[in-house]
Structure 1
Amino acid sequence: MEDRIKYEMEFPIHASPQLLYQYVSTPSGLSEWYADNVNSRGEIFTFIWDGSEEKAKLLGKKSGERIKFRWMADEEELEPYYFEIRIQVDEITKDVSLMITDFAEEDEVEESKMLWENMISSLKQVLGST
């Protein structure tokens, strides 16, 4: 299989880190913007879109700061890929940004970035953030 390329994106968001964390770390929060529905059983999260589902393993989280997942297909293949959503607060301005780290095959990076832009746009609508 082709190696995937790691990429990072930053999205300024006008919301408190605590509120933002609820939307990126809980099944109910993720269901509001990331997928049609999200369920979790222990460290396994099931993401449902248009009737199809993908499972991801929770690799780690730090309350109010970040959450990290690996798709089960990658987990089973022992692939090192993951996606991480991190909340970053500027020490001086207190501006809040959502930092996305993900991997995509070289010819799919732009498409993958557009997908994240659309999903973060949905998150901003849910939050009432501009």
Structure 2
Amino acid sequence: MPLSATRSKHRFVHEFPVNASPKILYPYLASASGLRQWFCQDVIMIDHHTFNFVWDNQHHFAELTSQRTNRSARFVFLDTNRRHTPDANYLDFTIESSELTQEYFLRVVDYSEETDDLELQDMWDSMVQKLRELVGG
């Protein structure tokens, strides 16, 4: 997800039903050990807030800029020098619940150069299916 000045950004938002409590789900969204099990090839925690996401043997650094335990995590991607950039790519994970049905949902916001909603939907469906298998939901 490297930043590119020549490509426009796209905000993909989708909610996925996940039948697991926030206590079980949250560590898979906000920790390197949890994320590496379903999200990408590897995730390495550099320091308390900086993560190295590895896709196809390429390193992408991100900062965990906000988090609410058992609720949400936001990763903002950094440039190759590990600095913030204007209009940076980011990922937001939020655990939401339906008071009516008592179901839990994972709301994903993927802000990046990828503009093909069908491709993004397929990619996220596949990753979230792997996550569901891990959390039993």
TM range (shorter): 0.7 to 0.9
Unaligned runs of 5+ in 1: none
Structure 2 Cα separation of the partners of residues 112 and 61 of structure 1: 24
1:73 and 1:102 map into 2 onto residues whose CA distance is 17
How far is the alpha carbon of 1:49 from its aligned partner?
Answer: 3.0
Residue correspondences, number: 129
Cα distance in 2, alignment partners of residues 86 and 33 from structure 1: 16
What TM-score, normalized by structure 2, do the two folds share?
A: 0.83
For 1:29, the aligned partner's letter is: G
Distance 1:24 1:69 in 2: 10
**Is it true that 1:92 corresponds to 2:100 in the alignment?**
yes
Measure how far apart 1:42 and its partner are. Answer: 2.1
Q: Indicate yes or no: 2:70 matched with 1:64.
A: yes
Gaps of 5+ in 2: 1-5
Question: Which residue of the partner structure matches residue 111 of structure 1?
Answer: 119
Pick aligned residue for 1:27 from 21, 29, 32: 32
Residue 37 of structure 1 pairs with residue 42 of structure 2: yes
Inter-CA distance 105–47: structure 2 relative to 1 (3 Å threshold): closer
Corresponding position of 1:77: 85
RMSD: 1.9
Equivalents in 2 of 1:107, 1:28: separation in Å? Answer: 29
- DSSP 3-state at the match of 2:63: strand
Local SS of the residue matching 2:132: helix
The percentage of aligned residue pairs carrying the same residue is: 26
Instruction: Answer 1 or 2: which has greater helix percent.
Output: 1
Moved over 6 A (4+): none
Q: C-alpha distance in 2, partners of 1:105/1:121?
A: 23
Letter aligned with residue 8 of structure 1: V
* Per-residue deviation, residues 66-90 of structure 1 (Å, max 9, x unmatched): 0001111395432244210100011
> Does structure 1 conserve the Cα–Cα contact (< 8 Å) formed by 2:73 and 2:93?
yes
Deviations 1:5-34 (A, max 9, x none): 212101001111110001111111111101
Aligned residues of 2:10 and 2:115 also touching (Cα < 8 A): no
